[in-house]
Amino acid sequence: MFSFRFFGKALFRTFVVLFTVGVLSAAAVAGLLFRFAAELPPVDTLQSYNPSLVTKVFAADDTILGEFYVERRILVPLARIPGNLQKAVLAVEDADFFQHRGLDLKAIARAFIKNLKAGGVVQGGSTITQQVARAMFLSPEKRMTRKIKEAILAFRIEEHFSKDDILGLYLNHIYLGHGAYGMQAAALTYFGKSVEELDLLECATLAGLPKAPNHYSPITNPERAMKRARHVITRMIDEGYVTADEAARALQSQLQLGGEKKAVGLAPYLVENVRRYLQKTYGYEGLYQGGLQVHTTIDPDLQRTAEEGVRKGLLELDKRRGYRGPRGRLGAEDLSKTDQKEDHREQVCGDHLPPGTFKNGVTK
């Protein structure tokens, strides 16, 4: 009887201690979450989403003469982004996007187990909503506090916006390599076509880029890009988005790379005058972030012919005038001063010269 009574009291005390610790821990966690939540910006600012867009200067035939931007982004509504591209992104980034409410606990558990087996981080469990929260409001630093804030923001975003709104934000905002932000800019950068013209293999290639844009770039790493595209298409089969026959036909085709039709470097003085006018009229933000479209009357073929004619004319004029002697003569003292200036310039500017330029100013 004594031992039973003693055991019962000990068990009760243990339960009280554990319950108290649990309540205090829950209160501490709640207080921490409340503090983090109070520090976060309101997510309703996304309703007035106004990202940095590209300003383009066009020739008469719609060839691009110049671009001005901080981030090369071209906004398109979700309706213009093909279903295959949306499904490819969902398959590889967040298969349960339309089922979860900001956090995917199953994906987090899968990632934890895979990372544990691999002995390192090989898979993440972030949802598309979490990625939007991180890109819009947080820094990319890998800290636990950031992950907590990211989770809180993801819940808030899901409360204020529809799934289509969130997916549209993601597809327009994500960085996809080579200076391209969003799917439209990436489609033009890699394939020279608008996003709605992409085929299945091209969609899979773009969908594979968010994980590591430079690593899977079809321009610099075509083999890796193709391997990644195969993985994306396999995931699309697993999710029932495409049939095995559709996937096989896509994988038998070849990626045809090609950027936008550009004539960058043509009529530079005109482009510079346009830039000055736009900055004076619309300000710095309007010029570099406003997504303006400027159409000029420049005919690229006639412009090239005119510039070549002027170049030839100047060379012929110079030849007709003949050799006109040196512009001046340098003595030993002048040469010494020149060498001193060159040494000083190398010390000050040598590390900031453009790639492919030697310190004496001669290009490779």
Q: Please report, for the domain that includes residue 130, its CATH number.
A: 1.10.3810.10
The answer as to whether 293 is a domain residue is yes
The answer as to whether 356 is a domain residue is no
- pLDDT, residue 321, reads 85
**What gap in Å lies between CA 317 and CA 145, rounded to an integer?**
70
On whether both 167 and 85 belong to a single domain, the answer is yes
**What gap in Å lies between CA 199 and CA 250, rounded to an integer?**
8
Could you say which of 201, 222, 252 is where a domain stops? 252
On whether both 66 and 90 belong to a single domain, the answer is no
- pLDDT, residue 341, reads 58
Q: Reduced to 3 states, what is the DSSP secondary structure of residue 129?
A: helix
| Stretch 271-291: mean pLDDT | 93
| Stretch 318-325: mean pLDDT | 84
Mean confidence (pLDDT) of the chain: 82
On whether both 170 and 100 belong to a single domain, the answer is yes
Which of the four pLDDT bands, split at 50, 70 and 90, describes residue 95? very high
Query: What burial class does residue 341 get, using C-beta atoms within 10 Å of its C-beta: 0-12 exposed, 13-18 middle, 19+ buried?
Result: exposed
Task: Show the tokens assigned to 240.
Answer: 């029932």
Phi, psi at 209, each rounded to 5°:
-80, -35
Tokens 């993801």 label which residue? 154
- pLDDT, residue 102, reads 87
On whether both 61 and 146 belong to a single domain, the answer is no
Which DSSP letter does residue 253 get?
S
pTM, two decimal places: 0.72
On whether both 237 and 174 belong to a single domain, the answer is yes
Residues in the chain: 364
- pLDDT, residue 14, reads 65
| Stretch 136-155: mean pLDDT | 79
The DSSP code sequence of 74-92 is ----GGGS-HHHHHHHHHH
The answer as to whether 34 is a domain residue is yes
- pLDDT, residue 353, reads 41
- pLDDT, residue 50, reads 80
pLDDT tens, residue by residue, 69-84:
989 999 999 999 999 9
pLDDT of 349 higher than 50? no
- pLDDT, residue 199, reads 96
Name the more confident of 39 and 287: 287
| Stretch 31-36: mean pLDDT | 50
Name the more confident of 7 and 96: 96
**Pick from 95-109, 215-229, 243-257, 309-323: least confident:** 95-109
- pLDDT, residue 265, reads 81
Residues 199-238 as b/e (b if ≥16 CB within 10 A, e otherwise) read: bbbbbbbbbbbbeebeebbbeeeeeebbebbbbbbbbbee
- pLDDT, residue 4, reads 52
The answer as to whether 199 is a domain residue is yes
Q: CB of 271 within 8 A of CB of 299?
A: no
CA nearest neighbour of 102 among 155, 179, 60: 155
On whether both 183 and 147 belong to a single domain, the answer is yes
Q: CB of 274 within 8 A of CB of 296?
A: yes
Domain count, the chain: 3
The answer as to whether 287 is a domain residue is yes
| Stretch 136-157: mean pLDDT | 80
CA dihedral 248→249→251→254, nearest 10 degrees, is: 160
The answer as to whether 149 is a domain residue is yes
The amino acid that residue 33 corresponds to is L
On whether both 22 and 111 belong to a single domain, the answer is no
- pLDDT, residue 106, reads 78
Name the more confident of 86 and 262: 86
On whether both 9 and 119 belong to a single domain, the answer is no
The answer as to whether 170 is a domain residue is yes
- pLDDT, residue 327, reads 79
Q: Which residues 6+ apart lie within 8 Å of 231 measured at CB? A: 92, 208
Look up the domain containing 156 and give its range.
81-252
